[in-house]
Chain A
Amino acid sequence: MGRPVAIIGVGQTYHGKRMDVSYPELVREAVMAVFKDTGLSPEDIDGVVSGTMPSMMEGIALTHFYLADAMQSAGKPIMKTETCGSTGVSIAHTAYYWVASGLADLILAVGHEKMNEGDSQATMTTVAEPFYQRYFISGAPGVFSMQSQMWTVRYGISEEKVRDAAAFISVTHHEDAFDNPYAHIKMKVSMDDVKNARIITYPVRLLDVCPNSDGACAVIFASEEMVKKLNRKPAWVKGVGYRGDEYFFGDSDKAVWESAAQAAKEAYKQAGIKNPRKELDVAEVYNPFTFQEMLFYECFGFCGPGESPDLVLKGTFTRNGELACDPSGGTLCTNPIGATGLIRVAEAALQVTGRAGAHQIPGAKLALAHAMGGVDQFNGIMILGSKL
């Protein structure tokens, strides 16, 4: 419903430990890249949507002020969308609704984070409620380790199998990242490297975890009219879904990630997707931890509950598999949090327009982009397709 909306261009920074640039310079790099990609200039833009993770990350609050010039937003209408880790997809949603409402024809969405300016795990710990939960959480890995354990026990998956499957995901994604010019971590890893890596919080080991990245991503959303006028190859927004679960960790079932399942269901319904594993060509799943990626496969209906480790080991979700998941290397290799969800959207857009370069999935027509956050409370989805 609403007017049709498409992504007509994307821009990314070279993500990594970017001590060569300041925070605004980093943002400018992504914004200039999307203008170069589309041939548009800042004057053409009707409004800007901006977003990051919490202020504590870089020690700057309400970053739309500081980054106004870098985003080329001075003199323009602005929105500032923040939903923790899912911020990137929520920014894309805001831009989508803005154009779909009929109020704008060209909206620039910018997600950004310079994580090496601060301490991401300290920041994440402040998401937890201060009286009871903060003492236990120890950043993001604590929660996600508990979740992995709960899931493997619930579905009777052997410790060995889940370890192997997670290691396989780490190996293949790290390999994929070599073909993505913007990816942060590019290293060859073997199954043994992952299984013997330093333990973070059992069963999560160092190579099961995403890095701290500096990075920004800029995406331009356009109305149907503008798509025609500018004669751009569009990635049409086919569906948007978002759900939020309870705040207290003990209040929700972690093995059945309700917000992820419901968000996907909402987006599939809009996109008319009935069998996601068959119909989708690419899924850019937000996977800061290898174990979570498997849970997401199940929540998104790529397979039944508890079935994902077997399919992972069969290669179902590799680049040459039935449904390519995170051919960009994903969040596991690049995680500038406020930008990460938007990078998933940008990668999905590149895939369905055949512009993903060395990591292009041949003939990709329908792709899913996803982000999760807060710590694990929120899940957001955007489905993009090559046809309206």
Chain B
Amino acid sequence: MSKRVGIVAVAQNAGAESKDNFYDQAYRVTKEVLDKAGLTRDDVETIVSASSDIYHGGISCANAYYWETTGAFMKNGSRQDGESLFALFYGAMRIMTGRYDTALVIGLCKGSENPPNDTCTLMYSDPFYLRNVGLTETMAAAFQMRAYMEKYGITEEQCAKVAVKNLGNALGNPYAHRKGRYTVEEVLQSPRISDPLTELQCAPQSEGMVAALLASEEKAKKLSRKPVWIKGFGSSIDAYDIGDRDLLDGQLKNAAARAYQMAGIKEPAKEIDLAEISEPYAFQELMWCEDLGLCRAGEAGKLIDSGKTERTGELPVNPSGGVLANNPYVSRGLQRAVEAYLQITGQAGERQVEKKVKTALAHGAHGFAGQCHAVAILGL
């Protein structure tokens, strides 16, 4: 990497429905991240936000609506649509050119003001063929889960264990929207949403203003005693039609390979201490662990059985509770990076893992059966 970019401060709000309006929430999170870095809004040079018009309460051009709320008045800024890790990447790119020393990246999504997530994901479907079928992310995920279980002999119980683990982890996360101590049976007996997916294996619809303040190497060292460096990042998008794709051989491997190459990671299973993975559907945590190289293909069932990915395990996955616990659709990728930052800096409170975290992975996924993936590697 030509120029190092560090994260010097983060802020987020709670995922449960809030009576506070969009502006209040966005302002508070922006103010908090600036305060933590000891900056005023005049000090921030550029602002890259992430939001989607479809997840923005019926207001188009979402970033026009909240522009000055994020401190962007008369600043050079931009917006990424759909995936907030893209905003992190774009903020980092801007700093890497040497043109900026500070960049605020912020994902904004107030789930409680939107139609149900799948009413929105239906709008990803093309108007000629898939729209009439009613294809949504949940339905695409159900196809994918069935194929995954059949190919590798993964059981419904193993998939449900992800929900048990993550909703349990969420008990230690004050920002988590859904949390609780559940059994595998309770997860499996919750209402069937789209067979074989049950309700507790599907993410809720949450609020999420999530911010990270980025700085160039020199500036980061001034602003923070312990900056977390963005060591690598990568993304990849798949073909559109789910009939054209092998749902078990997607683009996460490519996205991860790009991030690993940039970060100089050769053996992810050994070199990564902790992973925050976007798993809007429980089984996807297993699939994505395989694609990220944290275990071999088809072996994530054994991985969850072994307890290795528990908060107290060797390779904690989603100690925050992940997306199953908190799902502010667009903001969830950046939320993973923020959680990884908190773990690396030892600020994760009750959800802090026991082991020492030097290198952590943050992952974002969106689209039918994970059409698009983004991966960031953060570390000391």
Residues of A within 8 A of B (CB): 1-3, 22, 48, 51, 53-56, 59-62, 64-69, 73-84, 90, 93-94, 97-98, 100-103, 123-124, 126-127, 129-130, 241-247, 258-259, 262-263, 266, 373-375, 377-378
Contacts and interface: CB of A to CB of B under 8 A. Distances in A.
Contacts of B320: none
B89 interface: yes
Which 6 residue pairs spanning A and B have beta carbons closest together?
Answer: A2-B97, A54-B60, A101-B96, A374-B64, A61-B54, A61-B123
Nearest to A125: B60
A77 B74 CA distance: 30
A241 B65 contact: no
Contact of B54 (A55, A81, A259, A263): A55
B123 A373 contact: no
Interface centre among B63, B81, B126, B262 (most CB of A within 10 A): B81
A307 to B, nearest CB: 24
A62 B56 CA distance: 13
B366 A62 contact: yes
B98 A90 contact: no
Nearest to A5: B97
Given A74-B239, A79-B89, A244-B68, 8 more contacts: A65-B237, A81-B78, A82-B79, A84-B60, A93-B78, A101-B93, A243-B76, A246-B67
Contacts of A48: 237
B82 A80 contact: yes
Contact of B236 (A55, A77, A242): A77
Contact of B124 (A53, A62, A73, A93): A62
A101 B97 contact: yes
A101 B2 contact: yes
20 contacts: A1-B98, A53-B61, A54-B53, A61-B52, A65-B237, A67-B240, A68-B237, A69-B241, A73-B237, A78-B86, A80-B80, A81-B81, A82-B80, A97-B93, A126-B58, A130-B58, A243-B74, A247-B66, A259-B74, A263-B76
Interface of B: 2-3, 52-54, 58-61, 63-68, 72-83, 86, 89-90, 92-94, 96-99, 120, 123-124, 126-128, 234-241, 244, 251, 254-255, 258, 262, 366-368, 371-372
A130 B59 contact: yes
A62 B93 contact: no
Contacts of A98: 93
Contacts of B86: 78-80
A97 B81 contact: no
Contacts of B255: 77
A75 B236 CA distance: 6
Given A55-B123, A65-B240, A102-B2, A127 B82 contact: no
A98 B123 CA distance: 29
Interface centre among A68, A124, A246 (most CB of B within 10 A): A68
B99 A127 contact: no
A62 B60 contact: no
Contacts of B98: 1-2
Contacts of A123: 60
A264 B72 CA distance: 17
Interface centre among A51, A98, A100, A103 (most CB of B within 10 A): A103
Contact of A373 (B61, B238, B262, B371): B61
Nearest to A374: B64
Given A54-B60, A98-B93, A244-B74, A77 B239 contact: no
B124 A77 contact: no
Interface centre among A62, A77, A262 (most CB of B within 10 A): A62
Contacts of B67: 244-247, 374, 377
B356 to A, nearest CB: 30
A48 B86 CA distance: 12
B179 to A, nearest CB: 29
A77 B234 contact: yes
A76 B78 contact: no
A94 B90 contact: yes
B53 A64 contact: no
A246 B67 CA distance: 7
Nearest to B130: A66
Given A62-B367, A244-B77, A82 B63 contact: yes
B237 A78 contact: yes
Given A62-B81, A64-B372, A374 B61 contact: yes
A73 B254 CA distance: 13
A46 B343 CA distance: 32
B60 A102 contact: no
B103 to A, nearest CB: 11
Interface centre among A22, A130, A244 (most CB of B within 10 A): A244
Given A65-B367, A83-B79, A246-B68, A102 B234 contact: no
B157 to A, nearest CB: 32
A54 B58 CA distance: 11
A108 B244 CA distance: 23
B93 A127 contact: no
Contact of B64 (A76, A81, A93, A375): A375
B124 A61 contact: yes
A375 B82 CA distance: 21
Given A61-B120, A83-B63, A84-B61, A75 B83 contact: no
Nearest to B366: A62
B244 to A, nearest CB: 8
A266 B45 CA distance: 13
A1 B99 contact: yes
Nearest to B46: A242
Contact of A69 (B2, B76, B240): B240
